[in-house]
Amino acid sequence: MIVSALLTSVGINSALCLSFLVLYSILKKQPAYYGVYIPRLVAEGKTKQRDDFNLERLIPSPNWVKKAWMLSEEELLSSSGLDAVVFMRIVTFSFKVLLFAGVIGIFVLLPVNCSGDQLEDVDLVNISNNSLDVFTISNVKDGSHWLWIHFSAVYLITAYICCLLYYEYKYISSRRIEYFCSSKPLFHQFTILVRAIPASAGGSISDSVEHFFTEYHPSTYLSHTVVRRTSKLRGLINDAKTMYGRLGHLQSNLTQIQPNRGSCFGLFRRKDDLVDRYERRLGDIEQRLRLEQSEVSLAGKEVPAAFVSFKSRYGAAIAMHMQQSDNPIHWVTERAPEPHDVYWPFFSSTFMQRWISKLGVAVACFLLTILFFIPVLVVQGLTNLNQLQTRFPFLKGFLTITFISQIITGYLPSLILQSFLKMVPPVMEYLSSIQGYISLSEIRKSACFKVLWFTIWNIFFASVFSGTALFQLSMVFEPKTIPRRLAVAVPAQASFFIAYVVTSGWTSSLSELINLFPLIRSLVTKPFSGNSDDEQEVPSISYHSDIPRTLFFVLLGVTYFFLAPLILPFLLVHFSLEYIVYRNQFINVYAPKYETAGRFWPIAHSCIIFSLVLMHAIAVGIFTLKKLPLASSLLVPLPILTLLFNEYCRKRFLPNFSAYSAETLIKKDRKDENDPAMAEFLDNLVTAYSDPALMPVSFTANSDSLSRPLMSPED
Amino acid sequence: MIVSALLTSVGINSALCLSFLVLYSILKKQPAYYGVYIPRLVAEGKTKQRDDFNLERLIPSPNWVKKAWMLSEEELLSSSGLDAVVFMRIVTFSFKVLLFAGVIGIFVLLPVNCSGDQLEDVDLVNISNNSLDVFTISNVKDGSHWLWIHFSAVYLITAYICCLLYYEYKYISSRRIEYFCSSKPLFHQFTILVRAIPASAGGSISDSVEHFFTEYHPSTYLSHTVVRRTSKLRGLINDAKTMYGRLGHLQSNLTQIQPNRGSCFGLFRRKDDLVDRYERRLGDIEQRLRLEQSEVSLAGKEVPAAFVSFKSRYGAAIAMHMQQSDNPIHWVTERAPEPHDVYWPFFSSTFMQRWISKLGVAVACFLLTILFFIPVLVVQGLTNLNQLQTRFPFLKGFLTITFISQIITGYLPSLILQSFLKMVPPVMEYLSSIQGYISLSEIRKSACFKVLWFTIWNIFFASVFSGTALFQLSMVFEPKTIPRRLAVAVPAQASFFIAYVVTSGWTSSLSELINLFPLIRSLVTKPFSGNSDDEQEVPSISYHSDIPRTLFFVLLGVTYFFLAPLILPFLLVHFSLEYIVYRNQFINVYAPKYETAGRFWPIAHSCIIFSLVLMHAIAVGIFTLKKLPLASSLLVPLPILTLLFNEYCRKRFLPNFSAYSAETLIKKDRKDENDPAMAEFLDNLVTAYSDPALMPVSFTANSDSLSRPLMSPED
């Protein structure tokens, strides 16, 4: 790509950004779009439904930027939980890293690169026709002593990032403990999940659990809830809900039609019949539902898994940490999620089931990665216009138009890639859900990890090597050649990734701000349903797609920092946008659905360590190619030290992210001992973990009044 | 190597074996060698010191073989502990594996190999001049359908070994739990070791421990013993012991001299002076020792580590399994060893110290592996006589004598290798000891693992590739080429390894039986010290050298089973010998020094899994070389399935080898609750873990009476 193509891309995107920002400023103030832009405030009743029109509503104002900027960490913590704080800290962390890299890159490395004369076609007068390669390390002469500056920069940035990582890990780890200490008693703190419960001869699973825990944990055991197979029941409830929804819709239509068009009596009659029929069918389903519920409550439908609650947090922790039975794959214990976080479908329970599904999911992820290669290859084809012209000669006339060719090379590839990538997070979430996790938060966390590696592999490596998947895999079997191969391929893709940051990065932040999909949905559905606003749920942020994207841009920044520092200013713009946009979204749009208390941070940490090591590998290769073997050899200790640092962090901080210490738990338990509210809390705990599908439901009773069901089962 | 060279080697070794067996039968019955051959029985007072000579003592008898054969597992368990049982089970397991392999190899594969005609110089009439390659897979024609027999054999043996492994793991795991349940209360069951104790401002470590455990484990905490820096003290005690020994020797000489030679009065006088001087110096040392002891007892010399004892096994287990402090690298807990098993020197305590020493030891092992290469290369040179002749022309006349050349190629190489290998276990034991382990058993276990991989790498891979160490390392970086390279190199070394089994294997069992080194020591020292028998300690078996050797022979058997089945009969002879010899040694020689309760088995398990995967890699390579690519591809699932099986075993059985379950611990605790002896036991527990160097010592008091010190500090 040449400079002018990049400028085109930047121009288009800046214009898009600006117009999006203006559009947002205006749309946000329209009460019709409150459901899209401030659903959280609506749900909390913090907005006044002023329907009176005034001019102010049409003038864009930067007020929301100020509000988002002023939000303090404590406010964010209290309103959106620790996960939101950690997410924002990942963004600011990335910004800090890239700012430091940017200062070195732009003021030190870029001049060095430009002053080189390795590339012959440099034309400093007419710079816009230059290839972007002039700004990269490729322009530095082979064996030049200037390369030692790049060498020092690599050491410097590694040291800086490691320091930052250490303090960040420490801070988040202490924050996590503080958060736990200041939390009010929560059900999941007192509960563990026990799986693979061996059935005692004759008795039910419930008896078995009761007997085991009264026998071995008599002083702390409180109660238990056995999990039951409720997939059929859940299907029936969904049927009932759909039917109820249809019925409600029909009846509201009727009430609208009745006064307006008394003439169409036939139509009205037919609709009335329909209502009767629907009501009857709803009644049928409900009856079947109750039958099924009572059937499920019998012992036969028990899954060999149970939520076991204890009288103290420490008691629960002891039962969780100790191997309970002589057979380690029986009575397998793990932390319980909050009751509303439990993912009831796919409740696999035995050890072998979970093991096999894990293997299956691993294979599925592998296949997905390989199949995804096809769109990536097509996209890569677009950046090589010449190839495209030789393959499809009829496009030749079209492609020679400068503007079109610049759009195609600068803009289209990353847009296509982006739209394909949109499909990945839901797929990965589905794969994680069948892997045996029992909570939404765990599923999302696992999906976050999967999406991250998928992104790195399929965007970074696939774009860099642009070979077949099998070709890439072959690299794994010849690790010695990796640095050299990377050194050849990575700098060549600098311009692609700059364009990627500008298009995908900037646009993604702004499409997040403008809430593109909910907006479209609202535009499409609004005309058909009047009161959809009330039913709309407050969305929760999907960390499993947003964190990987953020981290991928850090990876790009870190790996390209010394190769093509020109990428850094664009990344800084991206992260500034992201900072403001997400803070705004946390205030207005997203409400937390679950709380992992910062357990996404270790994923970010390991991704940044991976970026560093990848950068080192590329640097080793580059210095070898640039005929500075001494620098290559001197770089070898750096990845080793980085990995040792990572190992230290794993030992020093990671344990705090999977469990709390005895010290903390006992202190917290003692504080609660004298709390009179604890007795009531423990009473509630006994029934907290019952499957919502087993709750009594009643649709028919209120189908006439058109209010929502009294006790609506959650999805 | 040709068949006749092999036969020479087998001949020599069979003769050696027979003579060793006869020699042993005779020597064992001589009271002078009781200290070498039946030290255990002597120590237990089970032997009658009959000094009357009779003819029977000079006639070899196979009585001991019968005794060793008849020993039941229960007897072995009660006399030598579970470790001995597990060791014998490893031997019988190996025998079972090789017997199955041998039957298939000799009766199915060997005829197929022989009937092939790939090698042209086959001369079935004069078979003794044939190369051994005739019996290997190399002789099967490329692309021949007979190779499918080898293919099936690979699948069959893998299935067989995996089944056997599963049942063995299951058996030993249940044995381990049974052993625990039937044990009487032991100090280490109630105790944990806490390291990296943070010093509270002003207070001592002891206060800190007291405060922490009374605060967080009030109901179960019993007592603690802080570890102190006693290296100087230990030096003084050793000095005192040496001095005391010298003094004793001198005084006993005096008493012998006095009545016999009254004439040499001058000499006697001088000796008397010497005794006085020694006594004074011993007194000095003792005084310094007491001073040092009282100094060490002060707070200043405390190491931030302590043995903390609890009132119940379950209490100790809870404290061990839970992360105690918010900072996971403080208050690090681990199982405590038995008091007599504690390795007091090198008591590293902080997290960083241990981490760094671990890294240092890893580097040292790596360097040792590379340096060891030199003798291996020399040995490999010997098997290529032609090379030797061209390098050292003056040897030419000597080397052309058939018998000598056959000894050199068939016998010498493995003998040299063997003597170098003898040095490895002590070195590895030393390395493990500075790695931060706190018990002899852990050190030995870690050394066992190190020696095993050292053996596999330096004997198997070095012999097979006979290139430089760096060349070998390069293979790690190109994993794709491994099967092909193995397939080329491994069959070529078949004859070397057959010779290795015959010489090293057979001889090692018999030198174990004849107790070569203790015998030589006894022969050398006996004339100088009359009463050395009494002081002699009963030796303990060094599992860290014997288990790796056994496992290495299994690795040879498994990898060569389908390549050169001729190796199997020799291995079977080896394991039969080993079976009898070690059972005999357990009865007569070795007394258990520590008890890991079968924790050596997981090492054996993983080594056998490694052997299987290595065998699969070789098979994949062989079938590719032999132009049967379909067989290669069909073999690929086999290592994957094997590794999955291994993973399952790790999940199913391994946890039981690091800790006991809550179920077991609580049951055992309840059984003890009503035992009146428990109160006394807990009283003893309070002082059980004090450093023997801090025990009161008194040499001078009894230096006159020449009895041993009242309270002798252990080494």
Q: Do A480 and B480 touch (CB under 8 A)?
A: no
B205 CB near a chain A CB, below 8 Å? no
DSSP letters for A331-378: SEEEEPPPGGGB--TT---SHHHHHHHHHHHHHHHHHHHHHTHHHHHH
| A118 and A191 fall within a common domain | no
Model pTM score = 0.86
Would you tell me which residues 173-202 of chain A have a C-beta closer than 8 angstroms to some C-beta of chain B? 177
A-proximal residues of B, 260-319, CB under 8 Å:
317-319
B chain contacts of residue A661, beta-carbon cutoff 8 Å = 322-326, 328
Range of the domain at B175: 3-185+451-526+537-658
B559 SS3 class: helix
Place of tokens 């002899």: B440
Distance between CA atoms of residues B230 and B235, nearest Å: 9
Contact list in B for residue A655 (CB cut-off 8 A) is: 323, 328
Cβ contact (<8 Å) for A655 and B351? no
**Rg of chain B taking only CA atoms, in angstroms:** 29
The shortest C-alpha distance from A326 to chain B (Å) reads: 6
B651–A216 C-beta distance less than 8 A: no
Q: Which residues of B475-487 are buried (b: 16+ CB within 10 A; e: fewer)?
A: eeeeeeebbebbb
Same domain, B27 and B135: yes
pLDDT at B120 over 60: yes
Q: Cβ–Cβ contacts within 10 Å for residue A25, how many?
A: 17
Do residue A322 and residue B318 have CB atoms under 8 angstroms apart?
yes
Task: Assess whether A169 and A292 both reside in one domain.
Answer: no
* Among B569, B620, B631, B628, residue whose Cα is nearest residue B107: B569
Is the CB of residue B78 less than 8 Å from the CB of residue B68? no
> A-chain residues within 8 Å CB-CB of B648?
355
What does DSSP assign to residue A530?
T
Q: How far apart are CA A248 and CA A253, in angstroms?
A: 8
Any A CB within 8 A of B378 CB: no
- Taking contacts as CB-CB distances below 8 angstroms, the residues of chain A near B324 are 661-663
Q: Do A480 and B478 touch (CB under 8 A)?
A: yes
Contact across the interface for A322 and B321, Cβ inside 8 Å = yes
Predicted confidence (pLDDT) per residue in A234-264, tens digit: 888 888 888 887 787 777 776 665 555 445 5
Structure tokens at B127: 């078979």
Q: pLDDT category, B471, cuts 50, 70, 90? A: low
Kindly state the DSSP code that residue B192 receives in the 8-state scheme.
E
The answer to whether residue B545 sits within a structural domain is yes
Instruction: Count structural domains, chain B.
Output: 2
CB contact, 8 Å: A479 with chain B? yes
**Which residues in chain B have their CB less than 8 angstroms from residue A321's CB?**
318, 321-322
Report the residue of chain A nearest B658, measured CA to CA.
A323
A160 and A52, same structural domain?
A: yes
B261 located within any domain: no
Between CA A89 and CA A168 the distance in angstroms is: 8
Q: Which residues of A touch B197 (CB under 8 A)?
A: none
SS3 category, B706: coil
Other CB atoms within 10 A of residue B645 CB: 19
Question: Strands, DSSP E only, in A477-623?
Answer: none
Q: Are residues B493 and B545 in the same domain?
A: yes
Asked whether residue B712 carries a pLDDT value surpassing 60, the answer given is no
Dihedral sign, Cα of residue A530, residue A533, residue A534, residue A539: positive
The answer to which of A49-63, A455-469, B623-637, B668-682 has the lowest mean pLDDT is A49-63
Q: Is the pLDDT of residue B86 over 90?
A: yes
Domain co-membership, A248 together with A155: no
Q: Which of B322, B325, B652 sits opposite A329 (nearest CB)?
A: B652
Note the pLDDT tens digit of each residue in A333-377: 999 999 988 888 777 667 788 888 889 999 998 888 877 777 666
pLDDT > 70? residue B78 = yes
DSSP H or E stretch at residue A527: none
What DSSP state is assigned to residue B108? I
Residues paired with residue A194 on neighbouring β-strands, in sequence order:
A306, A333
Give CA–CA dist B368/B512, Å, rounded. 26
Q: State yes or no: pLDDT of B700 exceeds 70.
A: no
Torsions phi, psi for B695 (to 5 deg):
-70, 150
For residue B644, what is the nearest residue in chain A, using CA coordinates? A359
* Distance from the B670 Cα atom to the nearest Cα atom in chain A, whole angstroms: 11
Cβ–Cβ of B477/A474 closer than 8 Å? no
Residue at B424 is within a domain: no
> Which uninterrupted H or E stretch holds B589?
none
What's the average model confidence in pLDDT over A567-576? 92
Same domain flag for B9 and B128: yes
Q: Which of B318, B477, B663 sits opposite A479 (nearest CB)?
A: B477
- Classify the phi-psi angles of B542: left when phi > 0, otherwise alpha if psi is within -120 to 50, otherwise beta: beta
Cβ contacts of B477 on chain A, cutoff 8 Å: 478-480
B8 and B128 together in one domain: yes
Which chain B residue's Cα is nearest to A474? Answer: B480
Alpha carbon A689 to its chain centroid, in Å, reads 26
Q: How far is CA A167 from the centre of its chain?
A: 24
The answer to whether residue B643 neighbours chain A at the CB level (below 8 Å) is: no
Same structural domain, A682 and A603:
no
- Listed in sequence order, the residues at least 6 apart from A500 whose beta carbon sits closer than 8 Å to its beta carbon are A413, A414, A417, A459, A556
Do the domain assignments include residue B376? no
Residues contacting B153, CB < 8 A, separation 6+? B104, B105, B108, B109, B561, B562
* Residue at B674 is within a domain: yes
- Same structural domain for residues B477 and B586? yes
Interface size between A and B, measured as CB pairs under 8 A: 98
Chain B contact for A478, CB < 8 A? yes
> Which residues in A lie closer than 8 A to residue B480 (C-beta atoms)?
474, 477-478
SS3 at position A60:
coil
Q: Is A634:A150 a contact under the CB 8 Å cutoff?
A: no
In terms of phi and psi (left: phi > 0; alpha: psi -120 to 50; beta: otherwise), the region of B196 is left
How big, in percent rounded to 5, are the helix, strand and coil portions of chain B? 70, 5, 25
Task: Among A8-12, A34-38, A298-302, B271-275, name the most confident range.
Answer: A8-12
Query: Which of A160-164, A214-218, A677-681 holds the top average pLDDT?
Result: A160-164
Q: Do B547 and B629 belong to one domain?
A: yes
Note whether B321 contacts A: Cβ–Cβ < 8 A. yes
**Residue A225 resides in a domain:** yes
3-class state of residue A221 by DSSP: strand
Nearest to A651 among B324, B328, B654 (CB): B328
Q: How many CA atoms lie within 13 A of A706 on its CB side?
A: 13
User: How much is the average pLDDT of B2-31?
Assistant: 83
CB contact under 8 A, B477 and A478: yes
Does the pLDDT at position B529 exceed 90? no
Mean pLDDT over the full length of chain B: 82
In a domain, B400, yes or no: no
Contact A199, A248 (CB under 8 A): no
- Distance, in Å, from the CA atom of B70 to the CA atom of A661, rounded to the nearest integer, reads 53
* In-domain check, residue B398: no
Query: Does the beta-carbon distance from B648 to A355 stay under 8 Å?
Result: yes
DSSP B192-233: EEEESPPPPSSS-HHHHHHHHHHHH-TTTEEEEEEEE--HHH
How many whole angstroms separate alpha carbon A461 and alpha carbon A394? 32
Question: Could you tell me if B164 and B234 lie in one domain?
Answer: no
